[in-house]
Amino acid sequence: MKSTTMLNILVTGSDGQLGSSIKEYKNVYPNYNFIFASQNVFDITRVDNCFLKQNSINTVINCAAYTAVDAAENNQIKADLVNHTGVLNLALAAKEAGAKFVHISTDYVFDGKHYKPYTETDRVSPLSIYGKTKLAGENALINCTLKNSIIIRTAWLYSEFGKNFLKTMLNLAETKKNLKVVSDQTGTPTYASDLAHTILEILPLIQNDKTQIYHYSNEGAASWYDFAWTIMKEANLPCKIEPVNSIEYQTAVQRPFFSLLDKRKIKSEYGINIPHWRESLDKCLRKMGVKI
């Protein structure tokens, strides 16, 4: 599904997991001209509205976010500045430039008290400062009445880039014989490369009069314990994974106990296929040079 129209794409937060994964595809789409902007190059909290017009940007993919979930509890102003104000700034700049806008959000906008996969229209009720600021960013974008714009909520991102659960487990397994991992939180590990590919595939098809919300994660369900156990199994590591309840592993933030995302909308409207999380985990491990 290659676009025949030249897209000048600004990717913010380009040094993060998703931004770095998009970079891996830059040569796959000859009609996509990318400008990859890290925070040092393009700070969304201080957007120069002329930047988009001067660079003929007609598409924005906002990967920039304050994602330190625990730290956000004590840094609410900073988290809100990036996750809320920054989104508003960028959305207004995109609207002025007439650019498409893809914004990445999170399963943390839900409280995790559901009993079935969350749809895009289910009630939002974030438990954490991180979730609240991400929801505020969603609402800011929606209120901008920006055409050709979408919000993609995702969950449990990992990749070969940056800091994430997969890399933490692999690093700990080098020195630990046993690890305790939470077993009563359910979601879906999502390979950032799969999300990056989906975004780039659907870009030419985004056409709407008001912002649409979609859910994207890999297929299947897992607890953090399941994820960790599978990592050790697939990577042939001897580290033993022991399940524990969340109450035994106290953190600064209450996390959703259940955050499966219903992906029927994005699959039906854009005709995409989504791999199972175990399949994608193997793919990521191979790219990292891990023998499986």
The pLDDT of residue 1 is above 60: no
Quick one: which of 272, 257, 255, 164 has its CA closest to 217?
272
pLDDT at residue 41, as a whole number: 77
Instruction: Using pLDDT thresholds of 50, 70 and 90, give the confidence band for residue 256.
Output: confident
Residue type, 207: Q
**What is the mean pLDDT of the segment spanning 240-267?**
89
The pLDDT of residue 3 is above 60: no
Instruction: Using pLDDT thresholds of 50, 70 and 90, give the confidence band for residue 2.
Output: low
Quick one: which of 91, 87, 104, 94 has its CA closest to 8?
94
Strand pairing report for 222-223 and 186-187: antiparallel
State the Cα–Cα distance between residues 124 and 122, nearest whole angstrom: 6
Considering the entire predicted model, what is its pTM?
0.94
Catalytic: which of 29, 66, 118, 130?
130
Give percent of the chain above pLDDT 70. 98
Instruction: Using pLDDT thresholds of 50, 70 and 90, give the confidence band for residue 129.
Output: very high
**Is 158 an annotated catalytic residue?**
no
Instruction: Using pLDDT thresholds of 50, 70 and 90, give the confidence band for residue 246.
Output: confident
230 is written with which tokens? Answer: 């599978």
> pLDDT digit string (tens) for 31-82?
999 999 987 778 889 877 678 888 899 999 999 999 999 999 999 999 999 9
In the chain, what are the domains? 7-163+190-218+260-275 (3.40.50.720)
Instruction: Using pLDDT thresholds of 50, 70 and 90, give the confidence band for residue 4.
Output: low
Instruction: Using pLDDT thresholds of 50, 70 and 90, give the confidence band for residue 28.
Output: very high
Q: 3-state DSSP call for residue 234? A: helix
